[in-house]
Structure 1
């Protein structure tokens, strides 16, 4: 993962309108809950290390049928492309809400992926590539949001404040010293969310599903 320009991250959310089509929802096979997770910069497609650990811990803690969906976006050095992930995550939430209305949905993200989920939960209108804001009726299906190493932490948690539909549902986790989410200078802190904080986040989610 590389340092994410905080100003650029905030601009993604605040600037006033491209959607990547979301994959088909689960159809008849609906899990008890599903974690929709955006990986960090330079991680291969999928959930990433943090998302994988979160899902594993949640399954262990609940014994429930927990589905998992890795948000489809580049996760590369072009941080403005995070809007592609936000579009994909928003589309997927809406498809799951329609196809599996009893499934409890969990949003999550690590590092740049946390910025992706910030956009989904905070941006009420299209802007700067984000064209598919999450309708309130779909947002109601999201029972928890867990963010790790969130770059908006360096902007005073600006994006969390802008999340009217997610009050009480968001857990922002930042390791002391993590330069991405705080004024720290310990890069190792940014890569140390597993297993301690992923277990903590799973406990936060478990009581909500």
Structure 2
């Protein structure tokens, strides 16, 4: 600390008194065991929801994702719950969905490693449901260039995932129309997966009511998905 003196003659007592206090404080700090900040200052959540939004929805969870997270949180009042919106374009350029697969897989693996007691719920709507479904796959789909697709997650990662809840997952007919491989859930996740489809939604059923695939059409279904996840938690 720089001290600026404005007088040529300085009273020694005025200097020694604060100097003595400073030395005493220094000794006290050095002789006292100081506990470093604990990693638990930002504890791992009990539950983490990863959600991939649907096509053309703004970055974030999307309407269905927010409703699902809220419904699940209401069912788990005694547990801490965090949400992670999968980072990907979510545009009509479906091949860019691989960015979502990569981001989701990286986050899932990182959470499993750094927060082993946290239970994850993987979820998504429409294109996001396809992204999350592919994220669970244990093999790269036939006809897909393996250099563009991230490697499958290690099998043991599935132990950290409590449930997979997919809304409006594009069926094989829809994926063929889009020129994409069919969505296949990996064997480590099939027993903990539920796929929910709104009545007459042409993307996930044989129906032809295109308005049934709008995010708002799933408002009455999210609670079913939340109940399924909560029961597995």
Q: Place the TM-score, normalised by the shorter chain, in its bin.
A: 0.7 to 0.9
- C-alpha contact (below 8 Å) 1:115/1:151 kept by paired residues: yes
Q: 2:90 aligns with which of 75, 78, 98?
A: 75
Give the drift of 1:189. 1.2
CA displacement 1:85-109 (0-9 Å, x = unmatched): 0010000000000111000001001
> 1:6-25 residue pairs with structure 2 within 5 A?
none
What residue is the counterpart of 2:48 in the other structure? Answer: 34
Question: Structure 1 CA distance, aligned partners of 2:213 and 2:128?
Answer: 13
Distance 1:194 1:116 in 2: 18
Name the counterpart of 1:167.
190
Query: Which structure would you say has the larger RCO, counting Cα contacts within 8 Å and 6 or more residues apart?
Result: 1
Q: Name structure 2 gaps, 5 residues minimum.
A: 1-39, 176-181
Query: How far has the Cα of 1:155 moved from its partner?
Result: 6.9
- Superposition TM-score, scaled by structure 2 size: 0.73
Tell me, yes or no, if the aligned pair for 1:32 and 1:65 is still in contact at 8 Å.
yes
Question: Which whole-Å CA distance do the structure 2 matches of 1:27 and 1:141 have between them?
Answer: 22
Gap regions ≥5 residues in structure 1: 1-25
Name the larger-Rg structure. Answer: 2
Matched, 1:56 2:70: yes
Which residue does 1:92 correspond to in 2?
Answer: 107
Counterpart of 1:139 in 2: which secondary structure? helix
* Separation (CA, whole Å) in 2 of partners of 1:132 and 1:163: 13
1:147 matched to 2:171: no
* Structure-2 separation of matches of 1:89 and 1:28: 21
The structural deviation recorded for 1:66 is 1.0
| 1:184 paired residue among 203, 207, 212 | 207
Taking structure 1 as the reference length, the TM-score comes to 0.81
C-alpha displacement of 1:140: 1.6
Q: Does 1:206 align with 2:230?
A: yes
Aligned partner of 1:45 in structure 2 is 59
* Paired residues of 1:39 and 1:46 also in contact (CA < 8 A): yes
Greater Cα shift, 55-64 or 179-188: 179-188
Name 1:102's counterpart in structure 2. 117
Q: 1:154 to 1:170 in 2, by over 3 A?
A: farther
